[in-house]
């Protein structure tokens, strides 16, 4: 099997350890430049990043490789991943590059690409680029000296993105009178997110807006929603918004501090769109990780849930194929295809705020639509990602649990696309039993996969 550089969401790993090394980033820039330039001169590339210290390293290495292969590079600095998708389209660029490890800790970093239409690259294109990067005999098609690319820093990129987000909010509405707690995870949205909400009229209480290169996602952001839940109650706020390091995820809490995940937000937004006859085919797209309660909710309201593999790129691919306009993940990636080509935490928050404003009701009254089934997710660190059908102890444990659930729950095993981890998920009607069943499968995984 050929080695792949890319996982479910681009290239990712710990900084200065393969594959996240300056050498690989340089070769990645050369390979992407060669692939997208395709013999022509001076195609455009937009590069953005989050606030990790190692971002400087990979920004410089990528820029060098891209310019060397004849691409003009536009550097926009720290901005959310969806901002790079937007700017790639807005600037008529041929490629967008994001340097970020999303919700991971600061020592990790990653690189992902968007095509000229703002969509993540398909597997086959990533594979071709991987072959160029990893090939011992790769011949770089360097242009003549006068045809190498130039690098430019674009100072107005944040303003462009802010205007785009504000235009996604209904023009006849404002956020006047709303008090919002906003957690930017010391990440890429620390500058633009408060501006968007304040310019729309909200009073914003911020947390996680002082990045130092080392504190991104550190006990804050969408992985730690209890931070906004506590602050909302303390501040008497109307809503809490938590983004992750690259701001493509959204988790919220209502005015009582009740936390809502991506499934619960999707249920609210899908129902609102169905009531307005604005959800094509009454279809919502989500992944295999979404709670069974979401599937039953859609069915009960005359809609249907289409499931995909884990990863927002696969959600987007299914949405494009099926003509769907709403999709996402339980983790908080939410895609509103009428506005964006990728998950955008802040844009999703604005759609939620629009519904609150149009109905003039607090989030607590709108969000009680979905009571998730008890769900337990455990990670097992593994040495090798053995196919599950070649792990008889694991298969037997799964069979026993599925028989005990009697069709009233689910078992899901999958390997992480970015880490040496097996994810074990069990859903069912009883919390204690779900915990026990998960433990049984985890024990089998630890015996067979470690």
Do residues 66 and 33 touch, judged by C-beta distance below 8 A?
yes
Cα gap 78→333, rounded to integer Å: 19
CB neighbours of residue 382 within 10 Å: 18
d(CA 173, CA 103): 32
For residue 134, the surrounding DSSP H or E stretch is helix 123-134
Helix (H) or strand (E) holding 405: helix 392-405
Nearest to 367 by CA among 246, 261, 247: 261
Backbone CA torsion sign across 131, 121, 98, 266? negative
Q: What amino acid positions are annotated as catalytic residues? A: 102
Q: Are 59 and 30 in contact (CB under 8 A)?
A: no
Check if the beta carbon of residue 408 is closer than 8 Å to that of residue 429.
yes
Cα 262 to Cα 273: distance, rounded to the nearest angstrom: 16
Contacts of 387 (CB under 8 A, 6+ apart): none
Count of CB atoms situated within 10 Å of the CB of 393:
15
Contact (Cβ atoms closer than 8 angstroms) between residue 119 and residue 96: no
Give the C-alpha separation, 69 to 56, whole Å: 20
Question: Which two three-digit tokens encode residue 279?
Answer: 């959800």
């Amino acid at each position: 099997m050929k080695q792949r550089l890319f996982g479910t969401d681009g290239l990712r790993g710990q900084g200065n350890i393969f594959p996240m090394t300056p050498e690989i980033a340089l070769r990645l820039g050369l390979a992407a430049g060669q692939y997208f330039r395709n013999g022509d001169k001076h195609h455009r590339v937009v590069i953005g990043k989050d606030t990790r210290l190692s971002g400087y390293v990979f920004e410089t290495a990528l820029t060098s490789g891209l310019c060397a292969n004849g691409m003009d590079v536009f550097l926009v600095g720290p901005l959310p991943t969806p901002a790079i998708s937007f700017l790639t389209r807005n600037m008529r660029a041929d490629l967008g590059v994001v340097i970020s490890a999303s919700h991971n800790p600061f020592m990790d970093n990653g690189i992902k690409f968007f095509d000229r239409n703002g969509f993540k690259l398909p597997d086959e294109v990533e594979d071709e680029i991987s072959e160029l990067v990893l090939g011992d005999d790769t011949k770089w098609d360097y242009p003549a000296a006068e045809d190498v690319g130039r690098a430019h820093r674009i100072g107005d990129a944040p303003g462009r993105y802010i205007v785009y987000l504000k235009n996604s909010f209904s023009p006849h509405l404002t956020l006047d009178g709303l008090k919002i707690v906003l957690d930017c995870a010391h990440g890429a949205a620390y500058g633009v997110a408060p501006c968007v909400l304040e310019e729309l009229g909200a009073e914003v209480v911020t947390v996680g807006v002082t990045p130092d290169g080392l504190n991104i996602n550190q006990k804050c952001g969408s992985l730690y929603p209890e931070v906004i839940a506590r602050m909302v109650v303390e501040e008497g706020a109307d809503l809490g918004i938590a983004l992750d390091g690259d701001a493509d995820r959204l988790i919220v809490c209502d005015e009582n501090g009740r936390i809502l995940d991506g499934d619960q937000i999707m249920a609210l937004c899908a129902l609102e769109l169905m009531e307005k006859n604005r959800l094509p085919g009454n279809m919502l797209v989500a992944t295999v990780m979404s709670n069974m309660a979401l599937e039953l909710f859609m069915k009960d309201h005359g809609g249907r849930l289409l499931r995909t593999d884990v990863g927002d790129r696969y959600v987007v691919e299914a949405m494009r194929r099926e003509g769907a306009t709403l999709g996402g993940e339980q983790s908080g990636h939410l895609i509103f295809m009428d506005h964006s080509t990728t998950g955008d935490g802040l844009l999703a928050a604005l759609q939620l705020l629009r519904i609150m404003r149009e109905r003039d009701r607090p989030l607590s009254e709108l969000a009680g639509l979905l009571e998730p089934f008890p769900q337990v997710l455990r990670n097992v660190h593994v040495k090798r990602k053995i196919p599950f059908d070649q792990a008889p102890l694991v298969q037997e444990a799964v069979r026993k649990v599925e028989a005990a659930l009697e069709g009233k729950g689910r078992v899901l095993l999958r390997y992480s696309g970015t880490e040496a981890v097996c994810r074990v998920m069990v859903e069912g009607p009883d919390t204690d039993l779900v915990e026990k069943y998960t433990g049984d499968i985890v024990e089998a995984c630890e015996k067979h996969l470690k």
